Amino acid sequence: MVPASVEGYNHMSDWGIESFTVDGAGGPNLTPRSGGGGSSCCGRVPARWRPGMKVKVQWSYDTTQGGPRPPPPQEAEVEVPEYSSKAGSIQAHFYPDHKVKVVVSNYGIRHPRYPMSDEDKLPWKTREDLLEDERQGRLPE
């Protein structure tokens, strides 16, 4: 097992994420359509990915002052897609209808090598220019 920071992305426009954990490691609070700017320490992931690898995510919603009552706390066991030997951080993604996905990556969500489809990244958009920056040695590989 290797240490990994815990980050989050809230893809929803109507609910904040008050708190969340991935296998017990806490992540930062997330306002609607925010994330990636902060992380918490420390989660742990296997140094090498293995097929069928899953993590348990627990989260609670937040609401604006005077807004409707938030949904009850949620919990899900989710499969982690394959990651490289450069494990990176644990990144939880929260979507409408209590859906959550987790990836482990050393890339940010806008990077073309980020392990998600462009649709799953929304509202964040891929920046293809980051590949050219890599080739020019301006970013780590």
pLDDT tens per residue across span 70-103: 999 999 999 999 998 777 899 999 999 999 999 9
pLDDT tens per residue across span 16-36: 999 999 999 999 899 999 987
pTM for the model stands at 0.88
Per-residue pLDDT for 135 more than 80? no
DSSP assignment of 21-72:
EETTEEE--B-TT-BSS--EEEEEE-SS--TT-EEEEEEEEE--TT-PPPPP
Domain for residue 99, yes or no? Answer: yes
The full length of the chain comes to: 141
Residue 135's SS3 state is helix
Domain for residue 35, yes or no? Answer: yes
Domain for residue 96, yes or no? Answer: yes
Domain for residue 101, yes or no? Answer: yes
Residue with tokens 């859906």: 99
Domain for residue 123, yes or no? Answer: yes
**Considering its fold, how many domains does the chain have in total?**
1
Residue 13's SS3 state is coil
- Domain coverage including residue 27: 2-135
CA distance 32 to 24: 23
Q: For a pLDDT cut of 90, what percent of the chain falls above it?
A: 62
Domain for residue 140, yes or no? Answer: no
Domain for residue 141, yes or no? Answer: no
CA terminus-to-terminus distance, the chain:
23
